[in-house]
Structure formats: C-alpha cells, structure tokens
Structure 1
Amino acid sequence: RRSEYRLARKRERLHLVEGLLIAILDIDEVIQVIRSSDDGEQARTRLQEVFDLSHPQAEYILELRLRRLTRFSRIELEAERDQLKAEIDQLVELLGSDVLLRGQVASELEAAAEAYGTPRRTMLLNGGPVQPRSAKAAAAADLQIADSPCRVFLSATGRMVRAELSADAPGGGVIPPTRRAKHDAIRSSVDTTTRGDIGAVTSAGRLVRFSPVDLPSVPGNAVQLAAGTKVEQYLALGKGEQVIALVPLTDGPPIALGTAQGIVKRVAASELGTKPEIEIIGLRDGDRVVGAAPASDAAELVFVADDAQLLRFDASSVRPQGRSAGGMAGIRLSDGARAIAFAVVGGSSFDAVVVTVAGSTAALAGTDAGSAKVSAFTEFPAKGRATGGVRAQRLLRGEDALTLAWVGSDPRAVGADGSVRALPEPGAKRDASGQPLDAVVGAIGTAIR
C-alpha cells in the first residue's frame, strides 16, 4: 500500500512538472494569455485550450511564482522529470513482482531491527512444557538426558553453553545470528555428545576432563552465550587460573600449546589418558599458557608478543611430545617481552586476519581504549620456529605495548562485561598504526557458527 501511494504521488508530481516544462518553452505567450484574461477561471480555461494542459496543470501554473520560470529552473525541472520517471519505473517493477516485494520487506525489517532492536532480556533454553503424569508413570520415567550430538561453546569472556545439533540440518543446525549480542565472541568450540567427555586447557598447563551434560542447553538457531554458565562455576579451577581453550579428547590432530615465555608444544591425544585432570605441559616459574588448539602438520602456529612482534611457522616443525614435557622454543622474545596470544591457523589462511590492540601499560586498567587494527594474515611472512617475529603494529605516541591480540577468521570484540565492541575495518597494512577505539576491548573471539 505504501508503494502504491508513493507511485500515485510521483505520477501526480510528474504530471505537474511536464506542464511547467510546456509553459517554460513558450513563457511569453503564457504571460500574454494570463494578462489578457478577465479572471482566474478564464485564464485557466484559455491555458488548457491553447497549450493542451489539464486542469491541475493549468491551476499549478497560475499559482506559480515567476522566479520558477527561469532557465535554471528549467534545467532543474528536466532533471526532476528524469528522476521521477526512473523512480516510477522502479515502483512499477516492484509492485509487479512478489519476489521483489518480499525482498524489500525483508531489507526494511533488517534495517529497522538494526536501528531500533535491543538485545533479548530473556534467554532461550531447550525445554518444553511439563506434561501432567501419574505418580506411577513418573516413578518409571527415565531421568537420564539423551546422549545426543551437541556443540559446546566457550566465550572469550568465560561462559559456556551447549547447543543441540541436528544431523539433517546444514552446519548441524547452528545458525549464525544476524545481529550481535552480549558475550558473542567465541574463544573455542567443540563438537561432542551430551554425555561425552571433552577437555578444558587451562592457563596453568592443566587439562581438565569434563562432560557438558549439566551445561545450559540452547537451541541451535538462537545460541546466546549470555545464557551460559561461568566456566569457574562449572570446573574446579585454581586461583587466577583460566580456561584457555576447549579441545576434543578423541583421536585426532595433536593439541598445540603456546606460553607467555614463547614456548610451544604439541601433545598427541593418545597421551592424555583417562584421568579427570592431568598436566599437559611442564611450565617454568612465572610462565602460563596463552593459547591452545588442535594442530595437524599442515597447520601453522602463530605467536604475537606484547612488543608488537608476530611469528608464524609450520606446525610440522614441532614434533609431538609426552604430556609431562616442557615443550621447545617457539618465538625468540626480546628482553622483557612476553607472548600475549597463540593461535593455530588451518591449511587455508586466506580468510584469517590478525587483530592487534595497542595501549599504555602505565594506564589504569579499563581506562585507556587504545588503538586497534585488523590486517590480513597473509600480510605476515612465515619464518622458522625459534626466530624473531615481524612487526605487527606501529605504536603511536603514548603507546608502549600491545595489550591484546587475536588471530583467526570473522573476529568479534567485546568488553570485559561482554558488551559489544566495534573493530576497525580489515585491510590495514602489516606494520601500520592502529585506529583509536571508542571503548575498551576486553576480549576478542570469532563469530558463533
């Protein structure tokens, strides 16, 4: 109805503009007709007869100021006429096609949701209405949760949920959200079953085996990490210990780990055993794990240090070791520098990016937003293991270190409370300086998928 209304108004305006153009072409005669008429009614009638105008066109010309009849106004009117004709053709095409109408409605709904939408205040969890049953039937019921396929998500802010998977749906039924929400930056995800076991690699070099059966369950088409439970409330962690990544415990690629002191290690899944928790890397004093993920020989390993150095090298150069081994040199760090990020990039690295955030170490935590940039991973040349890296960001005045770094595809930034943060557009040069951020970025992860 709105398009039909707009079409009618534009056709009316085009009719008047065409009448004005007729009058401008012979303006002297138009003025003579008006001046020689006894009253407005006679002038309108004579204009219609002499110039073959309609009643609305003649009335509009009589009410028009003479300033609109200049040569410049003629150019404006001709441009307006051409634009009106193009807009009318578009509206006619739109009204004549159900496909175009549905597409227009969808795009306008998306724009309205983006402009006026607010995050959900209630979180969707899997479940259904409770059916009334007799006491005998209730006693005989099987209270065990079915061991069905699921995907466990760990957010960059430390929340976990499990999403039920469907074998018949693309991607297991997990639908990436169209709009961002709190805690939507994903640090790690693992496909398993509801009653199966997966591992949590911690910053203390431990692997904690656990089952996701008691995690909040969310539908695959509405995964929201705000509905998840905090990881420290689900797992027994030590003081200051954090979960760095979730890893599968099935036979697969070795698990690669990187530490703040630049040590790298790969450990085979067969070395993990069946104990509830084990040490998978022997850390030196003051060291901690900063990243972990499965890494085949075809993958690349990436370190990013706080002095803005990045090193990428082949995972095949790191031979798998036993779980109690201390690893080997990964990146050669300068004096006082520490690795702040470690990542595994698969064989296809064309869509991977490097996100770096720079700031001042002297500023109070949470007060300096700093600057950030997003560069293509292919901008950084590969080097050998145990060598120095290449510069990943040029520091601005007042900045003395990288405070955050992340390597992967489809980055998402959030604040310390999980609120959405914006990152600069990708495409920055490898050693370019960053762009100022509007708010402090607390963590970076990938999109829900």
Structure 2
Amino acid sequence: MNKDGNTFDKGYRKSAKSVGNIMGNYHPHGDSSIYDAMVRLSQDWKMGQVLVEMHGNNGSMDGDPPAAMRYTEARLSEISAYLLQDIDKNTVPFAWNFDDTEKEPTVLPASFPNLLVNGSTGISAGYATDIPTHNLSEVIDATVYMIDHPNAGVDKLMAFLPGPDFPTGAIIQGKSEIKKAYETGKGKVVVRSQTKIEELKGGKKEIVVTEIPYELNKASLVKKIDDVRVNAKVAGIAEVRDESDRDGLRIAIELRKDADAELILNYLLKYTDLQVNYNFNMVAIDNATPRQVGILPILSSYISHKRDIIRSRSIFDRDKAEKRLHIVEGLIRVLSILDEVIALIRASDNKADARENLMASYNFSEPQAEAIVTLQLYRLTNTDVVTLQSEEAELKERITTLSAIINDEKTMFNVMKRELREVKKKFGQPRKSILVDEVVAVEVEAASLIVKEETIVSVTRSGYVKRTTPRSFSASKLDEIGKREDDRLIFHQPALTTQHLLMFTTFGNVIYRPIHELDDIKWKDIGTHSSSLVNNFSQEEEILFVQILDDFDGETRELIVATKFGLIKKVALADFKPWRTYRSKSAQYAKFKQADDRVVSVAFDKNADMMLVTHNGYALRFPSQDVPVVGAKAAGVKSINLKDDDFVVASYFADTDSFYILTQRGSLKRVNFTEIPAKNRAGRGLQILRDLKKAPHKVFASGTVKNVYGGDLFSETDQELQMLQVLSQTDKLFEINLPDLNLLDRTSNGSFIFDEAIEGGVKFANIK
C-alpha cells in the first residue's frame, strides 16, 4: 500500500486493488486470507494502534464478517507511516518475491516497537504465539528508559510498562504473573469484564457490562449469559439485552426484584466468559530463529534494530548531502568565471564535448560539469548565488550532524529517543485496561445457586428415581406412579430441591444426588434409572434403603447394616458426604467376604435390640450396642452363627410388641417378642418354626407388627391397619391385617392363608 501511494494523506482506494497487488506481486495466498489480515489491521477492538483505515463495514465485535473487498475502501493510517519511515533509504534488507520480479522488505524500519504495541496471535509449523497489546506511551517510555539503562531489570521496566493494555479495556489481574511473563515469555493473567450494578424502578437491579475481555465474541457471550437464564442455572435473571451502540459497548442483565445481584454476577464471572484467562506465549522471530522471549530481549532487539536503521539512514542521507554539496560548490565556482564558461560552452560541438572541455580546462569533476551544462539560464541571477551559498552552509551543517550520529553512539541514541517521543506525543492515548495486582478469586457456593422448590421424590426397588412437582403428584393417585410391572415403589416423600438424596443398594453401594439434580418427571412417567446416574450400577442390583438429608454438617446418626451371610456393622451417615466423582460412581458402604453376599437391611440405629431371622427358622435377638461402628469399606462383625445351608432373611429392631413370620408354603403367624429373649451376638439363636421332615416350612419374610392397640379407650375403628400383601404362585393377591392375627407360640408353624395345593406357595410379599 505504501509503494502504491495508498497512504493516509491521500484518498481511499478499493480494498480489492490492494489485495490484488499483494497477491500478484508479493504473496500468492488466497484473496480471503489477505483481505482478512487487512481487515484485522483496521479493527480498533483488536489492534492497539490501527494500521489501516477502512471505509465501509469492516466487521464487528459480534463476529460479523466485513463487507466484500469490492465494496470497502482502505488506506494506510497515519501511524503506519512511522512504521514505514525511511524504508527507501537502504535501512532494511530486501528479498526477492516468489517469482523474483519484485523485492520486498524482510522487516520494517518501525519508529516504535509494534510487536508489543499491537501484539501478535498466530499458529505456525510447530510454533504458536500470543503477545498481548500494550499502551503505546508506556512501551515508548520503557524503551527510552532502556536506552539510558541497558542493564535495567524487569522490575524497573514495569514501572513504565506495568502490563498489557487491551483495546477493549477490561480489568487485568495478577501482577506477579505479568512479571513472570515479562521475564520468561510465558504466564497467565485473569481478564475480567468491567461491570456495575445499577438500580432500576420498582426495586429491581441490573448488571451492566461496559467492557469485555480481549478477542471475545460479544454475541457469543450474550448468548451464553442468556443460556444461563433459560436453563435457570442461577435464579433471578429476568432478561439479557445487548444495548451496544455507536457510543460504546453495553450488555444489560436485568434481574428480578428479589434476586441476589452479587451472587448472579459472581456466577456469571465464574461460569461464562465475563472473566477469562489470558495466556502469554511470547514467541518471536529473533535472528531468523523462533524464540520465547520476555520484554528485555524484545526491547533490546528493537533498540538494536532501531540503531541499525538510524545509522543506515544517516549514511544514506550523508552520502546524498555530500554529492549535492559537491555540485553546489561547482555551481558557486562557475558563477565567478561565468563569461569564460559560456564562451567555452559556445565553442564546443555538443553537450558531451562541452562537459569534457569544462573538466579539462577548469578541473571540474564529471558530476559538476554535468550540472553546469544542464544549468538553466534563470539560475544565473544574483539571488541564486545567495541561495546556493545558503544551501552550501546548510549541507555542511547537515553533513556534520549526520557524521556525529554515525560516529557517536550517544548522539545517535538522543536522536532515537527524540523520534520515539515524537511518536508518543502524536499518537499516545490513555490506558484502557485497569491493572489489579492480585487475582480476585470468584467464590460461588453451590447451595446458593439452587432455586428452593417443593417437590416429591420417589424411588422404586429396581432403581428408578425422579422428582415430581406437587401439582403432578396431587393430580394422580399413588398407585398410578410410572414404573415397570415387575417393579414396586419403596420410597416417596416430600422434599426441597436444596436437600440431598442417598440410596443404599443390595450390593453394598450408595448413590448420592442433590435433589435439584434429579430429573423433574411427571408422576405417571417412569423415572431415571440408577444405571444412568452411576456407571457401576449392576443389572441385578436393587435399592434397599433411601434417605433424604438437609445437609451432612452436624450429622451424628448411624446406620446399622446386616448382610445375607451373617455380617453386621454400624456406619456413620456423615461418611457419605458428597464425593468428587459422585456423578459417575457410587460409593461403598458395605464390604462382603463372599462374592454372592448381599445386604438384607439398612436402618438407623435405634439403640434397641436387633432381631435376625434366618431362612431355616432361627431367630437371634441381641442388643444393637454389641455392634461396633466401623468405616464404610469395612466388612463388620459376625451377627449370627449360620448353618451351612442357611442365610439371613430379615433383620429389624425389636421395638414393638410382636413380629410376624411368613413361610414359603403360605403359612403366617404372629409372635410376641417376649418369646425370644435377648442373647449374645453371633449365637445360633432359637428355632421359631417346628421342624417337619416332610415339606418343612422355610421363612419367606419376617418383620415387626406395630403397637396398634391402646387399651379400652380405643375402639376397633381407631386401630391402625398394617396390611401384608402376599402374592401366590398363581398370581392371586391376599391381604392380611397383621394386628388382627392372634399371638402364637414360638414353635408354632402358623396358619395357612391360602390352600397350598391350589396356590402353590408364596411368590412375593410386601407390607402395604
């Protein structure tokens, strides 16, 4: 553009013309690559100092593309002239272009350190670079200081150049990281948007963003903030608007009346690009080699480069001045012998002959003789003699000055500093980015982000879990819950989205979820299966016990866990405080000594006697205080002395007046706990069924019967129902109210609830 005369002091020219010239004469890249680079040089939100001025649409911070190059016009900006200054004075090396028809500079003379002022971002073969933009005035001040103090350290330079200055402003945090980057070329700073909280009518507030981090797409940022609103990731955002106009950037985040503005702002800073990390990776080409450099090598290399430029320029200008002085001296001399010279020229045959005669007769040099014979007659006036003498004096003074610059380094550095200060005076601007020494950590408590709502949590035996709105729950019947036909509801309870859910499985695993993370599903629809919540939920695994907690802090309760093959332990509920990988893995709460062991029961310790009932009809009662508290991954202690073919069917507390026994043949009985006296843990226990040689009874299910009789004051209608549902092998359902059963002795086999010959035995039993 400079060679074409497409400079700031002339009119704009079609961008397509510049792109075509670049492609045809210098770089055979695609036209879009060249035009994109040219457009970037004109974008004041990407450049510290704009190097190209463009008429027309040159894109936007929203990532909008510029108009096609046939529509836009461009020219070099004024400061670009200072990058190209003296390029025609043999100051920089030139190299042939791709087809050896044109020469192009390998580097520009650069009257200011453009690498720091405008930064650089790029990826090359095996190399990437990220050099941030800096304030022109600060860079020049640091350069001037380094000229005077070549051995200055980073600390001293940072007094003049404290950190990057992005054209989009914002807040840069982390002085120590800036220093590290300036020393090594690598570092990381935090760039935070400039925000403020404004009051609106009606007690509402809005968060206003006026500056965003460098190189950020504003439209994408606004969309991400609006996604937070749509997905209700934080409560209280009413509307997100981009109110940017010609006066500047403005993003308005309007809040609801009761919203916590500071909390929402912190959330947006932490989880959107309102705050980002900027990574320094200052890789530059130094002596034809890519190097990671700090500001000391960058500035010292620039000073060295500028010294070579000034020296080469001064030699060029001195040579030119000396040639002109030589000719001026000849012209002054010829005026004193003008008549003889005119006579000699008139006597000559031609111009060449006249030149030779002048050289031979008056000892003029060839350049002087050439200047004399081409001299115009009007130059022979008296005033021109004075002009020539004045020019001679000026040339001698100029040559003396240039010689001083060439031969005296101190003079040369004074010239360098003066020129740098001229650039600062003409183009210097106040700093846009604010520097903060310390990185301000953004803390957002997870609990504060949750919208507190009432919900109903339900869990089925097979592991389907969901939360349901009270409205959906109220509009349905309990038995209308969405589930598989072979599944059953084992837990449903009102809860808040701020509470926590623990689900204990038969395989000794516990699944944790904050209730707000559960899928909100209608009561009549099937829930989310536990295999979708954690990766290690087995196909045969079932949910055994469910608990909802407000929080884990101050939780002192203990669970008592009994297994099928006679292990028992207590474990603290506080041990299941959310773990790091809870979203993908369940935690262990019971350890098995046999691979096919399973957890039979999980319950809160009631400090009452424990009752264990086995398949072969043994019952052992012992104090729960005999069970030790161990860790979640411990196996526990022996609960009951089992025979080889026996296993535990049920485990419960002896905290009521009676318990029931259901056998596999469909026989049912109710027994008073006084029939089973307390013994020591790990004993064999007492038989609770009479042994039959033919078709013996085996315990299918057992549990407590509630204390439902309150004496004469209670009528039969006040008695609580405790229904035992029994499904026979023929899928016929029988319901028995357990408190209605008569008390039988310990060795009784009970009474049949159906005809075994017809129904074939018990298939399933459940307390309704």
Tell me what 1:198 maps to: 501
Cα separation, partners in 2 of 1:321 and 1:233, compared to 1, 3 Å:
closer
Output aligned runs, 1:168-179, within 5 Å.
none
**Contact 2:728–2:764 at 8 Å: present in 1 too?**
yes
Q: 1:289 Cα shift?
A: 0.8
Match of 1:385 in 2: 681
Describe the shift of the 1:185–1:421 C-alpha distance in structure 2 as closer, same or farther (beyond 3 A).
farther
Superposed counterparts of 1:227-306, under 5 Å:
229=527, 235-236=533-534, 237-248=537-548, 250=552, 251-275=555-579, 276=582, 277-285=586-594, 286-296=596-606, 298-306=607-615
Q: CA deviation at 1:284?
A: 1.0
Shift of 1:372: 2.3
Q: What one-letter code is carried by the residue in structure 2 that aligns with 1:193?
A: L
Q: CA RMSD in A?
A: 4.4
8 Å Cα contact 2:467-2:519 kept in structure 1: no
CA 151–385 in structure 1, closer or farther in 2 if over 3 Å, else same: farther
> One-letter code of the match for 2:663?
A
Contact 1:198–1:246 (8 Å) recurs in 2: yes
Distance in 1 of aligned mates of 2:466 and 2:676: 35
Q: What's the CA shift for 1:414?
A: 4.8
The answer for unaligned runs of 5 or more in structure 2 is 1-226, 234-449, 480-484, 707-721
**Cα distance, 1:209–1:158 mapped onto 2, change above 3 Å:** closer
The reply to whether residue 354 of structure 1 matches residue 668 of structure 2 is no
1:413 aligned partner, one-letter code: Q
Task: Sort the Cα spacing of 1:427 and 1:395 in 2 relative to 1 into closer, same or farther, 3 A.
Answer: farther
Give the drift of 1:165.
7.9
Is the alpha carbon distance of 1:274 and 1:412 closer, same or farther for their aligned partners in structure 2, counting shifts above 3 Å? same
**Cα distance between partner residues in 2 of 1:408 and 1:215:** 36
Post-superposition Cα deviations, 1:147-185, rounded to whole Å, max 9, x if no partner, equal: 44556454567665667789xxxxxx9xx989xxx9998
Q: Is the 8 A contact 2:571 2:630 kept in 1?
A: yes
2:635 maps to which of 308, 322, 326: 326
Alignment of 1:31-430 (within 5 A): 147-149=452-454, 152-154=457-459, 187=490, 192-212=495-515, 213-214=518-519, 216=521, 229=527, 235-236=533-534, 237-248=537-548, 250=552, 251-275=555-579, 276=582, 277-285=586-594, 286-296=596-606, 298-344=607-653, 348-350=655-657, 353-359=658-664, 369-394=665-690, 397-407=694-704, 409=706, 410-415=722-727, 420-423=733-736, 425-429=740-744, 430=746
> What CA distance in whole angstroms lies between the structure 2 residues aligned with 1:208 and 1:259?
18
Q: Is the 8 A contact 1:302 1:310 kept in 2?
A: yes
**SS of equivalent residue, structure 1 residue 321:** coil
Tell me the alpha carbon deviations over residues 205-233 of structure 1, each in whole angstroms, 9 at most, x when there is no partner. Answer: 11111345326565xxxxxxx87648656
Higher relative contact order (CA 8 A, sep 6+): 1
Q: Structure 1 residue 313: deviation in Å?
A: 2.0
Query: Deviations for 1:16-55, whole angstroms, at most 9, x for unmatched residues?
Result: xxxxxxxxxxxxxxxxxxxxxxxxxxxxxxxxxxxxxxxx
Partners of 1:150 and 1:412 lie apart in 2 by: 29
Q: Is the 8 A contact 1:185 1:413 kept in 2?
A: no
What do residues 114-170 of structure 1 show as CA deviations (whole Å, max 9, x unaligned)?
Answer: xxxxxxxxxxxxxxxxxxxxxxxx99677589544556454567665667789xxxx
- TM-superposed CA distance for 1:190, in Å, is 6.1
Q: Note the C-alpha offset of 1:322.
A: 0.9
1:402 to partner: Cα distance = 1.8
Conserved? CA contact 1:204–1:241, under 8 Å? yes
Q: Which residue of 2 aligns with 1:128?
A: none
d(CA) in 1 for partners of 2:520, 2:762:
27
Using a 3 Å threshold, how does the CA distance of structure 1 residues 343 and 215 change in structure 2: closer, same or farther?
farther
Counterpart AA for 2:571: V
SS at match of 1:320: coil
Secondary structure in 1 matching 2:743: coil
Which AA in structure 1 matches 2:512?
A: R
1:432 to 748, 753, 757: 748
Q: What is the aligned residue count?
A: 285
- Map 1:4-15 → 2, pairs under 5 A: none
Residues in 1 aligned to 2:500 and 2:610: alpha-carbon distance in whole angstroms: 26
Change (3 A) 1:207 1:157: closer
> Does the CA-based 8 Å contact 1:304-1:341 persist in structure 2?
yes
Q: Secondary structure at the match of 2:625?
A: helix
Distance in 1, matches of 2:641 and 2:676, equals 17
**DSSP 3-state at the match of 1:334:** coil
| Post-superposition CA distance 1:239-285 (Å, at most 9, x none) | 32121211345414211110011110110012223122211121112
Displacement of 1:377: 4.0
- TM-aligned CA distance change 1:344 to 1:191, over 3 Å: farther
User: Offset of 1:290 from its aligned partner?
Assistant: 1.0
CA displacement, residues 68-110 of structure 1 (integer Å, 9 cap, x when unaligned): xxxxxxxxxxxxxxxxxxxxxxxxxxxxxxxxxxxxxxxxxxx
Q: Is the 8 A contact 1:247 1:294 kept in 2?
A: no
Amino acid at match of 1:428: L
CA distance in 2, matches of 1:153, 1:227: 12
Aligned-partner residue type, residue 205 of structure 1: G
Amino acid at match of 1:244: L
CA 1:356/1:433 → structure 2, altered by over 3 Å: closer, same or farther? same
TM-score, length of structure 1 as denominator length: 0.52
Change (3 A) 1:414 1:189: farther
3-state DSSP class of the match of 1:313?
Answer: strand
Shift of 1:314: 1.9
Deviation at 1:321, TM superposition (A): 0.8
CA distance in 2, matches of 1:143, 1:202: 32
Q: In structure 1, what residue type is equivalent to 2:661? A: T
Instruction: Provide closer, same or farther for how the CA distance between residues 231 and 401 of structure 1 changes in structure 2, counting only shifts above 3 A.
Output: farther
Q: Which residue of 2 is the match for residue 7 of structure 1? A: none
Q: 1:140 to 1:215 in 2, by over 3 A?
A: closer
CA distance in 1, matches of 2:603, 2:668: 25
The answer on whether the counterparts of 1:154 and 1:245 sit within 8 Å (CA) in structure 2 is no
State the alpha-carbon separation in 2 of the partners of residues 232 and 154 from structure 1: 10
Q: Which amino acid is the alignment partner of residue 293 of structure 1?
A: A
Contact 1:280 1:323 (8 Å CA) reproduced: yes
Q: Give secondary structure in 2 for the equivalent of 1:214.
A: coil
The code of the aligned residue for 1:329 comes to K
C-alpha displacement of 1:200:
1.3
Letter in 2 for 1:392: I
User: For residues 252 and 444 of structure 1, do their structure 2 counterparts lie closer, same or farther at Cα, with a shift above 3 Å needed?
Assistant: farther
